[in-house]
Amino acid sequence: MSVRELVILGTAAQVPTRERNHNGYLLRWDNDGFLFDPGEGTQRQMQFADVAASTIHHIALTHFHGDHCLGVPGVIQRLNLDKVTHPIHAHYPASGEPFFDALCRASLYQNTLRLTKHPISATGYTYESRTFHLMAESLDHRTECYGYRVQELPSRTICMEKLDALGIHGPDIGKLKRQGFLQIDDRQIFLESVSYERPTQSFAIVMDTRPCEGAQKLAQNVDVLLCEATYTHEDIKLAHEYMHMTAVQAAELARDAKAKKLVLTHFSQRYRHYGEHLQEARAIFPNTILARDGDRIAFPTRQRQV
């Protein structure tokens, strides 16, 4: 059975606190795992969250500030220690290539990992899989920074009742799926007439940015939007100066993009409590939750469309 959930490993910006670790987000997406922005301490957070290193297939960095990447050395070495045999794909801004290489070589270890690097040099980047696309859009930060979107590709589900009514069984079902139609005597049965399109799902992560066009593209109609909310509204001038977002701006992004669920994260250590972040956001976008280290956020159940 496929699993889709977002595991929150860390939620603190810049400096970890006693309650919040540096950034770290694991998206479990069917048979693939996406580790986004592993900050310092991510490997330990994975232990607390009961997440095995073998869950990871993709490492995606939005940018190379330390709270978003200093966990890479431990994660890479753990993947080697656990003798993970499947390929690992790394996605990151191309301008940070020297930093990524340095992170991967931070200390001595036996390297057996099949690591494929995918440096991103322009907005609109897409990594294509058979079942999903990983897309990146440029954000507005002090250094080259990209947000990501995981988008499921359209697919169809066979309606067995319709097949039974037409007398289609066994190997003919596979043939119908492969070629899109089936010849029965003088009739052609097309896949579209005996199946329905499954609603697709999507996830977006928007980190370290002012409100911008790239963030809007990533968030459009997304099922789960994970967005930074570094500041509350009273500190909007600081947010603009340091090129971050407030909880209000994150909620406005979710509302304008018609997202289904908003998850706030990346909180400044200047705040002792984060209830105000949640209150401000929910006044604009009610389906908002506050991410906490260790949270597991499930994707909504898809409604069958016939």
Statement: residue 106 has pLDDT above 70: yes
pLDDT band at residue 304 using 50, 70 and 90 as cut-offs: low
pLDDT in tens, 230-282: 999 999 999 999 999 999 999 999 999 999 999 999 999 999 899 999 999 99
Task: Tell me how far CA of residue 5 lies from CA of 30, 237, 252, 269, 288, in angstroms.
Answer: 9, 34, 24, 27, 16
Joined tokens for residue 11: 């939620």
pTM (2 decimals)? 0.90
Residue 110: partners with Cβ closer than 8 Å, 6 or more residues away: 80
Task: Tell me how far CA of residue 27 lies from CA of 9, 85, 163, 224, 261, in angstroms.
Answer: 10, 20, 36, 11, 15
Residue corresponding to tokens 């966990």: 71
- Residues recognised as catalytic: 67
Predicted confidence at residue 306, as pLDDT, reads 41
pLDDT in tens, 136-149: 999 999 999 999 99
According to DSSP, the β-strands at 115-120 and 296-298 are: unpaired
Count of CB atoms situated within 10 Å of the CB of 271: 15
Count of CB atoms situated within 10 Å of the CB of 150: 26
